[in-house]
Chains A and B, each alone.
Chain A
Amino acid sequence: MGPLLVPLLLVMPLGGALLARRLPQRAVLVGVALACLAVAALAVAATGRGEVLAWGVGAAPWRLGFALDRLDAWLLLGLAALHLLATLASPGGAQEPVVARGGPAFLLLAAIACLATNLACQLGAFELAAFGACARVGAWPAPLGARDVRAANAVLALVLGAALACIANGGGTLEVPALVLRAPAAIGADAQSLTLGAYLLFGGLAAAFVLLPPALAIPAGPPALGLAGLSLGALAATLIMRLFTHVFPCFTAGACGAAALALPFGLATLSGAALATLLARSTRELVGCLLLVLLSTQLIAVGSFRAGGFAAALFFAAHALLSGAALVLAVAAAPARGGRALLALALLAACGAPPAAGFVALVAVLRAAGPDALAVWSLLGAALLLAAAAGRRLVAGVAGPATAPRLPAVLALAAVLALGVLARPGFEFASAAARQLLDRGAYARGPAGGLGSGAVARHTRVAAPAAGGEREAR
């Protein structure tokens, strides 16, 4: 049953998109989102036992392999929940501003977004994941009509594509199991290309961070746009974790190469986002800055490059996804009756008030700071103060008609609260996922390693053979 979950995740969104042309659009999209959530929950349960779900099609050298580990399953669950909330928040039909402009294109767009999200979580299909992420970045705001945001997203997609091309050039493959096997040798052979790819990835991430507040400030933008930005940030942090644990294992002896950039990058974006809350001109921009504070904090936890930091980052990712979604949806629903109270609660949850998950996530990040504790604690403290100051402006500045129903915001808040109350199993799963991520040998020994060997065999026919990688593969 386990390995079958992987193709299910790929097929469901596309099937939903096809069905939505003939059946009621909203019902089909909500159904697909619920099905994705159920499959993700099953994947979490299956990978919780330590199993890596692997599934492949074809034979070497044309074999296409997929695999799902704890990290993927954890992120997949969060993203599936986010996708469900985004679907529920969209009014659907002709009321949807995107549909009004782009007609049925929204269906395809929604399907691509869901598919890309699912694909990006697939360990073995890194190439497809990269394609999905780029397509998603480039396509999502396209029907909204803001030309500068569209152009900037196209540039961002190009930067991400260039980063992945460099990694493919340096490592000889983009399939993660194969990269695990080949990376030690590849780093010696073509370190510049790999390092350039990593730096470009950070560049793309910086551009995505800068773009998020203006993209959210588009007047006609649906709440789903903010949720798309959130999921992109979570995916980027996961990509960085994968890249540096599997491709640049040198970080275990201390920060090295591009890995050393993660912590300063996180601290810089955190400071920038916190200061930007003072300059935000609209409520939507303010929300964008607060989302950036959440995403940057996650990167800070990644920047420690220890198991504790990774566990904190994964738990924080879940908190950031759910409480960020609650914030975006509560702002959209705030002008309705009782909306301000909902927004205040969402702000409290996002800032880490107990018993919501944010408090546990915040403590985990602060405790994982290690030798950089002084910088992390002081900057994070200052950012939270500015966030509190921004929060009071946010609640006071609510105006205009409600653009989303209250139900999705209430559901998101309930999920944040549930994750906080059930923080023990959640954090244990995140810790196990972090340990699994750091155990490179397990990928080579397990079913994903089998996929990786196939990929190595395929790529060694094309690229120059790497002696170290082959030795490790044997």
Chain B
Amino acid sequence: MNAALALLLLAPFGGAALVALARVVTGRDPARAAAGLLLLDAALAAGLLRAVGDGPPAALAFDWVPALGLGASFVGDRIGLCAAFALGLVSAASLWRRREDPPAPPAAAALALAGLAQAIVLGAELPLLAGLAALASAVAFALEPRPAGGPDEAGWVLVVRTGGALAVLAAALLVADVLGGAALPRLAAARPDERDWPLLRAAFALLAIGVALLPGAWPWSRWLGAPRAASPAGPLLALAGATLLLRCAPLVPAPVAWASLALPFAAPLVTAALGRWFARPAGRAAV
């Protein structure tokens, strides 16, 4: 099972490298092949989910820099595998149905983003997850459509997403300082008196803010035009962020945790509504 988990994590990145190579050699972007690979990846997640069942989850762990509390560990539990399955399906669907006008971003970037999102939902070390979120923000920048002559919205989204990743990193380091470790099992094992510490609440608030910023909800105007909203990065990162919040739920009382889960999805919706509201006068003027 552990080997299957490693394959699930590495397959999108290996696929991204192959797709990029194919693009260089043939001059064409094999988007359908990339979508097929992601479907296989989703099937692997489903198979692993079935194999795990009620038993112990699959796990991979590497000590990276123990002196700094940095490790690279991944847990294939039911929540993570469900999210990985969903991410694989959404990514495959977006690649399969992508538009070529305006020119689509490279399929290799879409594969890499799917791989990063899956690593976020399967990861078990908060600092590493923050780093992966920052990397995902940068890869998502490559997927954002940039219409010629339009405002530089993709650049602003990159800045907002980077801010989100930094907030997650700050939360991770705060948790590491307070609890003496930032691995998700340590969070789950926090004692009731530890959960009442204000610094942990502050860390969870930072995490929620970071996760809300990751889908790239701002600037508002980018949600107005259908071609510009075509990037799958927002939904993928929203789903990954919600899973991350769910895994950190033991840090706060249950009602707060459940309410925070809505944040990554609600933030883009709210900003979209606000964007439409603010765009109304301009629309009338155009008419």
A interface with B by C-beta (< 8 Å): 344, 348, 351-354, 359-360, 362-364, 366-367, 377, 381, 384-385, 388-389, 391-393, 423-424, 427-428, 431
Whether the pair A384, B141 counts as a contact (CB closer than 8 A) is no
Partner of A388, one of B65, B66, B159: B159
User: A389: which B residues are within 8 A, CB to CB?
Assistant: 155, 158-159
Closest 7 interchain pairs by CB?
A354-B131, A388-B162, A392-B155, A353-B135, A381-B166, A359-B131, A423-B65
Q: Give the docked Cα–Cα distance between A360 and B173 (Å).
A: 12
Q: Give the docked Cα–Cα distance between A388 and B159 (Å).
A: 6
User: A388: which B residues are within 8 A, CB to CB?
Assistant: 158-159, 162
Q: Give the docked Cα–Cα distance between A30 and B63 (Å).
A: 37
With contacts A363-B173, A364-B68 taken as known, whether A384 is within 8 angstroms of B128 at the C-beta atoms is: no
User: A359: which B residues are within 8 A, CB to CB?
Assistant: 131
The binding surface of chain B is classed by DSSP as: helix
Q: Give the docked Cα–Cα distance between A37 and B27 (Å).
A: 40
Whether the pair A352, B134 counts as a contact (CB closer than 8 A) is yes
With contacts A389-B155, A392-B155 taken as known, whether A363 is within 8 angstroms of B68 at the C-beta atoms is: yes
Q: Give the docked Cα–Cα distance between A196 and B99 (Å).
A: 66
Partner of B128, one of A354, A377, A392, A431: A354
Whether the pair A385, B159 counts as a contact (CB closer than 8 A) is yes
User: A351: which B residues are within 8 A, CB to CB?
Assistant: 134
Tally of A-B residue pairs with Cβ under 8 A?
A: 72
The binding surface of chain A is classed by DSSP as: helix
User: A364: which B residues are within 8 A, CB to CB?
Assistant: 68
Q: How distant is A229 from chain B, measured CB to nearest CB, in Å?
A: 26
Whether the pair B132, A348 counts as a contact (CB closer than 8 A) is no
B64 is an interface residue with CB less than 8 A from chain A = yes
User: A431: which B residues are within 8 A, CB to CB?
Assistant: 67
Whether the pair B70, A360 counts as a contact (CB closer than 8 A) is yes
B138 is an interface residue with CB less than 8 A from chain A = yes
Whether the pair B170, A377 counts as a contact (CB closer than 8 A) is yes
Q: Give the docked Cα–Cα distance between A352 and B132 (Å).
A: 11
User: B127: which A residues are within 8 A, CB to CB?
Assistant: 363
1/0 per residue B124-155: CB within 8 Å of A?
00011001101100100110000000001011
User: B158: which A residues are within 8 A, CB to CB?
Assistant: 388-389, 391-392
Q: Give the docked Cα–Cα distance between A359 and B165 (Å).
A: 12
B163 is an interface residue with CB less than 8 A from chain A = yes
Whether the pair A353, B134 counts as a contact (CB closer than 8 A) is yes
